[in-house]
Structure 1
Amino acid sequence: MSDTLTTAVAALNEKLDGEGFDGTAKFVLEGDGSLMVDSSGARIADEDADVTLTAEPETFQQIFDGELNPTNAFMAGKLTIDGDMGAAMRLATLLG
């Protein structure tokens, strides 16, 4: 298990503040692995999801730290989204 994934799970769970997420989302940290977010919170896993977000670990770190808006990352081509755009928008609101 990579330290990057462990740190990302902790950051996501802090952002979610125990609320979980209405749906399933997979974050693919290129070169490091995947993590899932659902109604139970964030965890290291690689499963089917409503929406898959893929980016370099540094991009996700900036998003989790509040330094980069997820929408801006998508528009700049730093973040790719595959699947339910409605779920992606709900997730962006939680992360923003």
Structure 2
Amino acid sequence: MLTQIAEAINAELAGKTFDGSLKFDCGEDGVLVLADNRASTDDRDADCTIKLSTENLKKLLKGKLNPMTGVMMGKLKVSGNPAVAMKLGSLLK
């Protein structure tokens, strides 16, 4: 599942740059890391980590889950540098 999401993100990132690294930690489902202008499922340290369910990751990337609302409702837990996470919104639109 996360591999398919990574492939879709890589298609979106084509020709764009993403400064920094961002990890989506989906617990037992694995991780999705955006770094070096690509998405992968290889776990590594990142500037910012967002812990969430795979279902909420899909909603977040489709624009059906507002990041701020997700944090307020406890659906997303952000650690590290939140400024890196903020860059994601403008990148995928």
Deviation at 1:95, TM superposition (A): 4.2
Residue in structure 2 matched with residue 22 of structure 1 by the alignment: 19
Residue in structure 1 matched with residue 76 of structure 2 by the alignment: 79
Residue in structure 2 matched with residue 33 of structure 1 by the alignment: 30
Deviation larger for 63-72 or 46-55 = 63-72
TM-score calculated relative to the size of structure 1 = 0.82
Deviation at 1:36, TM superposition (A): 1.0
TM-score calculated relative to the size of structure 2 = 0.84
Cα distance, 1:71–1:11 mapped onto 2, change above 3 Å: farther
Which secondary structure does the structure 1 equivalent of 2:44 belong to?
Answer: coil
Task: Tell me which amino acid in the other structure corresponds to 1:61.
Answer: K
Structure 1 vs Structure 2 CA RMSD: 1.7
4+ residue stretches of structure 1 with deviation over 3 A?
none
CA distance in 1, matches of 2:6, 2:51: 15
Higher strand share: 1
CA distance in 1, matches of 2:6, 2:22: 13
- Unpaired runs of 5+ residues, structure 2, are none
Instruction: Tell me which of 29, 41, 47 is aligned to 1:44.
Output: 41
Q: How many residues align?
A: 93
CA distance in 2, matches of 1:24, 1:34: 13
Instruction: Tell me which of 31, 51, 54 is aligned to 1:54.
Output: 51
Identity among equivalent pairs (%): 38
Which secondary structure does the structure 2 equivalent of 1:68 belong to?
Answer: coil
